[in-house]
Amino acid sequence: MVKQNLEELFNAMPAIVQEKLRPVMDNLLERAGDLDAAGMQDPDYEDELESITKEVNKVKYLNDQWQLMNAKKNN
Protein backbone atom coordinates (compact mmCIF):
# COMPACT_ATOMS: atom_id res chain seq x y z
CA MET A 1 0.00 0.00 0.00
CA VAL A 2 2.80 2.41 0.87
CA LYS A 3 4.65 1.61 -2.36
CA GLN A 4 1.55 2.14 -4.48
CA ASN A 5 0.93 5.54 -2.88
CA LEU A 6 4.53 6.59 -3.49
CA GLU A 7 4.41 5.45 -7.11
CA GLU A 8 1.33 7.61 -7.68
CA LEU A 9 2.97 10.59 -5.99
CA PHE A 10 6.23 10.25 -7.91
CA ASN A 11 4.49 9.67 -11.25
CA ALA A 12 2.56 12.93 -10.80
CA MET A 13 5.81 14.91 -10.58
CA PRO A 14 7.23 16.61 -13.67
CA ALA A 15 9.62 14.57 -15.80
CA ILE A 16 12.62 16.75 -14.96
CA VAL A 17 12.11 16.19 -11.24
CA GLN A 18 11.65 12.46 -11.80
CA GLU A 19 14.83 12.35 -13.86
CA LYS A 20 16.94 14.19 -11.30
CA LEU A 21 15.59 12.35 -8.27
CA ARG A 22 15.24 8.88 -9.85
CA PRO A 23 17.89 7.18 -7.65
CA VAL A 24 16.29 8.55 -4.48
CA MET A 25 12.78 7.66 -5.59
CA ASP A 26 13.84 4.15 -6.63
CA ASN A 27 15.41 3.62 -3.22
CA LEU A 28 12.27 4.83 -1.46
CA LEU A 29 10.07 2.59 -3.61
CA GLU A 30 12.24 -0.41 -2.80
CA ARG A 31 12.10 0.35 0.91
CA ALA A 32 8.32 0.85 0.70
CA GLY A 33 7.96 -2.49 -1.09
CA ASP A 34 9.94 -4.19 1.66
CA LEU A 35 7.80 -2.44 4.27
CA ASP A 36 4.60 -3.56 2.56
CA ALA A 37 5.92 -7.12 2.42
CA ALA A 38 6.81 -7.10 6.12
CA GLY A 39 3.39 -5.80 7.08
CA MET A 40 2.21 -3.83 10.04
CA GLN A 41 2.99 -6.65 12.46
CA ASP A 42 6.73 -6.06 11.93
CA PRO A 43 8.17 -4.44 15.08
CA ASP A 44 10.13 -1.93 12.98
CA TYR A 45 7.17 -0.97 10.80
CA GLU A 46 6.44 2.39 12.43
CA ASP A 47 10.10 3.45 12.54
CA GLU A 48 10.69 2.54 8.91
CA LEU A 49 7.45 4.23 7.83
CA GLU A 50 8.51 7.39 9.66
CA SER A 51 11.95 7.27 8.02
CA ILE A 52 10.44 6.81 4.55
CA THR A 53 7.96 9.61 5.20
CA LYS A 54 10.76 12.02 6.13
CA GLU A 55 12.60 11.22 2.90
CA VAL A 56 9.41 11.55 0.83
CA ASN A 57 8.82 14.97 2.39
CA LYS A 58 12.27 16.02 1.17
CA VAL A 59 11.43 14.87 -2.35
CA LYS A 60 8.12 16.73 -2.21
CA TYR A 61 9.94 19.86 -1.00
CA LEU A 62 12.40 19.67 -3.91
CA ASN A 63 9.50 19.21 -6.32
CA ASP A 64 7.75 22.25 -4.85
CA GLN A 65 10.92 24.32 -5.14
CA TRP A 66 11.39 23.29 -8.76
CA GLN A 67 7.81 24.28 -9.54
CA LEU A 68 8.30 27.68 -7.87
CA MET A 69 11.50 28.31 -9.82
CA ASN A 70 9.84 27.20 -13.03
CA ALA A 71 6.84 29.47 -12.39
CA LYS A 72 9.11 32.47 -11.79
CA LYS A 73 11.07 31.68 -14.95
CA ASN A 74 7.87 31.51 -17.02
CA ASN A 75 6.53 34.84 -15.72
User: How confident is the model over 4-48, as pLDDT tens digits?
Assistant: 999 999 999 999 999 999 999 999 999 999 999 999 999 999 999
Report, as an integer, the average pLDDT of 49-70. 95
pTM of the model: 0.88
What is the residue extent of each domain of the chain? 1-12+22-39
DSSP string covering 36-67: HHH-TTSTTHHHHHHHHHHHHHHHHHHHHHHH
Q: Rounded CA gap, 75 and 70, in Å?
A: 9
Which is nearest to 60 in space by CA: 14, 27, 26? 14
- Please give the pLDDT value at position 1: 86
- Please give the pLDDT value at position 23: 96
- Please give the pLDDT value at position 72: 83
Do the beta carbons of residue 59 and residue 21 sit within 8 Å?
A: yes
Q: Rounded CA gap, 24 and 37, in Å?
A: 20
- Please give the pLDDT value at position 73: 82
